[in-house]
Every structure is written in structure tokens, then in C-alpha cells.
Structure 1
Amino acid sequence: MSPVWYAARAGVRRGWTELRQTFTTGQDVFGYVLWTVLLMVPLFLNKDDPLKGAGISEGAFMLPSMLGMTLAFTGIGTTAQLLATEREDGTLLRAKAVPHGMVGHLVGKIIMVSGTAVFSMVFPFAVGVFLVDGVARQGGGALLTLVWAIPLGLLATLPIGAVIGSLASSPRTAAFLMLPMMGLFAISGIYFPISEMPEWLQTVGQVFPVYWVGLALRSALLPADAVVAEIGDSWRLLETAGALGAWTVAGLLLAPPVLRRMARRESGAAMAERHRRAMQRVG
């Protein structure tokens, strides 16, 4: 067995271990519950308001859109925060000191973040289907869409988070860099159809993967008549696969060299300097 393959297998085991830990840690579980509550509030407030011409409520439209937002936010935000935190506390430096340790470390993070993203979607979905009508009644075709859309959505967003986490000097910087994501979600058709926005905002929203993940989940979970709320009255599945595929390719081309550059710059002296600056802020 090659050393790289062995490191990758060790990373898979580490990822599953971290995933089990997060599901058995009270603080993390509380975070999942709180996130679900925050998502359910707008669904409850809009569950009886009809979406014009679509035959569903605004709450039903929002549920799959919010699940797409959850996937994208977890893929980007959690990855960025984890890398920035572990860079600051020396975890990445220790991984770098082990032969092929960065390979195993990154594989572990992919497993952990992917599992977290899926769980963060399943919990709100399980609650939401009882709160709003007209969702998840599409049969086998919906399942097939979910089978390719969720993994492709993760592949499109995880590298973005890795790049942000590699560029951030601290978890606080990573959080600051994530602020534009809030505005991006607002113009990505999460809370109301993007087709109701000005054309220039529609164009901006369609550049990023958040919109396409939400569109794929709506196509899978909403009735066929709900397509009238979308641009061009179409689910545009081929365009969705193409857009997410393009982000995946771009991320996989950009993230590895950025991560390698970050790893080369890690040293005991650099970590000590970050620790000194952190102590000055606390003091």
C-alpha cells in the first residue's frame, strides 16, 4: 500500500471519529437544534401564504431552498472555520510534521464536513415536511436528483471553504471573510424566487453555487407546477449540473496549490507569533 493511500485511509477513520464526536457533544447538538429552529421560524410564518401561480405555499418553496443554503453554508463556512482554527492552534503544523499527514488531515475534514452538512439538512427537513404541505412527494425521480445534486453541491462548495480558510490568518478573519456570504444568500432565491429580482441581481445570483444547489433541491422536492416560479419556467437540471461542475473543477484546481502554500508557510515561529497576537487581544 502506498504511503499516500495509507494516509488517506487514516484520514477517513479520523473523519468518522470526529463526526461521531460532534454528534455526541452537547454543544454541537444544541447548535443543530438551534439552526433547525431558526430555519423553521420563517417557514412557520409563511406556511399558509400562497406562492403566486405555483400551487404551493411560500413556506414550501423556502424549505428546499433553505436546505440548499445549509449545504452551501456548511461546505464553505465550516471548512473555512476549521482550517483557520486548526492553523491557529497548531493542529495543521502537527499534521505537516507527519509524512503525508496533510493528506490524511484534509481527507478527515472532508468526511467530517460532508457528514455535518448532510445531518444539518436532514434534521430541518424531517421537521419541515410536517410543517408545510406539498414537499417531498415526487417519488423516485426526486431521489435520483438528490443522489447527484448533494454530492456535487459539496464538491462545489468545500474547495471554496478550503481557500477561504487557507487565506484567513485566524478564525476571526475567516468569519469576517464569510460576511459577504450572507448577502449572497439573500440574492440566491432562498426566501423568495430569484425570478422576482431585477435582472442584474438574477445574473449575480446565478454566478455562485448557492443558487444552483437550491434550484436542484427544489426540482427534487417540489411539485412539477412549482417550476413557474423559476427563471424560464424550467428546473434547468443540465445547467445546474454544468454550473456546479464548473465550480467543482475551479475549486479543485485552485484549492490544492493554496493549501500547499499555506502548509509550506506553517512553522513553529509563525504559530508562536499568532499566539502572541491573540494574547495581546485578550489582554
Structure 2
Amino acid sequence: MNPMMLAARAGLARGVVEVRHTLTNFQDLWNYLFPNLIFLCVMFFMRGASVPGTDFSLGARNLPSLLGGGVAFGAMVTMMMTLTIEREDGTLLRAKAIPHGMVGYLIGKVIQVAGMTAVSSVILVVPGVFLVDGLAPAGPVTWLTLAGVVLLGLVACLPIGAVLGSLFDNPRNVGVIMLPIMGLVGTSGIFYPINGFPVWLQWIGQVFPIYWLGLGTRSALLPDELAAVEIGGSWRHLETFAVLGAWAVVGLLVAPMVLRRMARRESGSSVAARKEKAMQRTT
């Protein structure tokens, strides 16, 4: 078999194993449950609030928004953290030493992060639909739209996380970028309709994929009349797929170049130096 195909198959198998491992590890299970429990509590207490200009529950409106925002945040942050940690502990260097090892490594990371995001989404959505009323999944078109938005959103956001992860060789430094990402989530209409923000903030939110993922998931799961509270008074399906597609294309072009450059700089001495610094910090 082609060596590249063997590496791809190994990466796929590794990704599946790593996702399965997260389901048996207490810390990973807590990371799945804790943020989603917070989101579910927020939606519960928002049941009495209404979307401005309507009598529709703000909690029900936020469920699909949180699904889209969670996909974006999980894809970017999990990929960023994973790359940074495995760069420090030498996993990336070991992958580089194997023929086509980087191909298998990246495929494994994509499968792992996508699988973890899917598990987290299920934990949020399944109890959420029983907690709030008003969701309107109307049939196959709804689910196809939802699947298309989520898959395209993952492809758009995973390369961003990979590029961000390549910028740091110390996991303790990634907090520098966490606050801006959380700020983007907050200003992308995930928790509150974006047209209630200043116009300049609306434009910033629309530049990034987080807003469009939230809009796409809302378009699939909310009644059509809720489109009236969105920018332009519509779900803007064409713009959603266009912006997410643009981010996906740019990411798939830029991320491999950045990661190849990062891998070329990895060596046994650089990994040893990082480990020594880490040991000094703990003593």
C-alpha cells in the first residue's frame, strides 16, 4: 500500500483511539461536562427572558447559538492546546521522525478534535432540547443544513487552532490568546443578538467564523420568524457558507505551511531545553 495511505490510516486509527480514551479519563470527562452544565444552567435561568422584539425564549434562542459557538471554540482551542502540549513533550518530534509521520499525526489530531467537539455538542444539545421549548427542526433539510454548517465550520476553525498552536512552544503561554478568543465568542451574537451591539462591533464579529457558525446553527434549529432579529432580517445562508468556505480555504492553504515550518525547527535539543525549563518551574 502507498506509504502516504498507510500514514493516513494510522492517523485515523490514532484519532479514534484518542477520542475513546477521553471517554474513560476523569479529567477529560469533567472537561466535557463542566462547561456544558454551566451553559445548560444559563439557558434554564433564561427561560423567562425573551429575544428583544419577540416573545420567543432567549434560552431557546441560545441553544443553537451555543452549539455553533462551542464547535468554533472547541476546534480552535483544543487544537491549539493539543499542538502546544505535544510540541513540548516531544510527541511532535517523534511523529516527524517517521516517514510521512506528520501526515498521520495531523489526521489523528483532526479526528481527535472533531470527535471531542461532537461529544461535547451531544452533551449540550440532548438535554437542552428537553430544557427549552421552541426549537423547530423541520425535517431532512434542517438536519442537512445543520450538518453542512457544522462540518464546514470545523474545517474553517481547525486550521486556525493549528496556526495558533504553532506560535507557542510552552502550554502556559497560550492564555495570551485565550482572552481574545473568548472576547470574540462574546461579541459574535452567541449569547445575545448581535444587532444589539454597536455597528463597529457587529462588523468585527462578522469577520470571524464564530458568528457565522452561530448564525448557521440558529437557521437550522429556530423558527423562520426568528430571522427577523438577525442582521438584514434573514438567515443569510449564502453568506454563511461563503464566509466559512473562505476561512476553510485560507486555513487549508496557510496551516500546512506554518506547521511544516514549525516541524522543521523541532529537534531533540529544543525539546530537551523545553523539558528542562518546565522542570525548573516545578521545583
Structure 2-normalised TM-score?
A: 0.97
Inter-partner Cα distance in structure 2 for 1:230 and 1:141 = 21
Residues 81 and 175, structure 1, Cα contact 8 Å, conserved in 2: no
Q: Report SS of the residue matched to 1:43.
A: helix
- Distance apart, 1:141 and its partner CA: 2.1
Residue type matched to 1:137 in 2? Answer: P
Q: Residue 225 of structure 2 corresponds to which residue in structure 1? A: 225
Q: Report SS of the residue matched to 1:274.
A: helix
CA-atom RMSD in angstroms: 1.1
Inter-partner Cα distance in structure 2 for 1:203 and 1:233 = 16
- Distance apart, 1:52 and its partner CA: 2.7
Inter-partner Cα distance in structure 2 for 1:15 and 1:136 = 34
Deviation readout 1:23-57 (Å, 9 max, x if unpaired): 12222112211121111121111112121334421
Q: Residue 262 of structure 1 corresponds to which residue in structure 2? A: 262
Q: Report SS of the residue matched to 2:174.
A: helix
5+ residue gaps, structure 2: none
- Distance apart, 1:84 and its partner CA: 0.3
- Distance apart, 1:136 and its partner CA: 4.1
- Distance apart, 1:122 and its partner CA: 1.2
- Distance apart, 1:260 and its partner CA: 0.3
Inter-partner Cα distance in structure 2 for 1:149 and 1:213 = 7
Residue type matched to 2:84 in 1? Answer: A
Inter-partner Cα distance in structure 1 for 2:182 and 2:31 = 19
Residues 156 and 209, structure 1, Cα contact 8 Å, conserved in 2: yes
Residue type matched to 2:172 in 1? Answer: R
Q: Residue 213 of structure 2 corresponds to which residue in structure 1? A: 213
Residues 59 and 132, structure 2, Cα contact 8 Å, conserved in 1: yes
Q: Report SS of the residue matched to 1:211.
A: helix
Q: Report SS of the residue matched to 1:107.
A: helix
- Distance apart, 1:133 and its partner CA: 0.6
Pairs within 5 Å for 1:37-76:
37-76=37-76
Residues 54 and 225, structure 1, Cα contact 8 Å, conserved in 2: no
Deviation readout 1:189-225 (Å, 9 max, x if unpaired): 0111001111100000000000000000000000111
Structure 1-normalised TM-score?
A: 0.97
Residue type matched to 1:207 in 2? Answer: V
Inter-partner Cα distance in structure 2 for 1:184 and 1:149 = 19
Q: Residue 147 of structure 1 corresponds to which residue in structure 2? A: 147
Residue type matched to 2:201 in 1? Answer: L
Identity value in percent: 53
5+ residue gaps, structure 1: none
Residue type matched to 1:146 in 2? Answer: L
Residues 137 and 143, structure 2, Cα contact 8 Å, conserved in 1: no
Distance 1:147 1:137, change over 3 A: closer
Q: Residue 93 of structure 2 corresponds to which residue in structure 1? A: 93
Q: Residue 276 of structure 1 corresponds to which residue in structure 2? A: 276
* Paired residues, number: 283
Residue type matched to 2:279 in 1? Answer: M
Residues 81 and 165, structure 1, Cα contact 8 Å, conserved in 2: yes
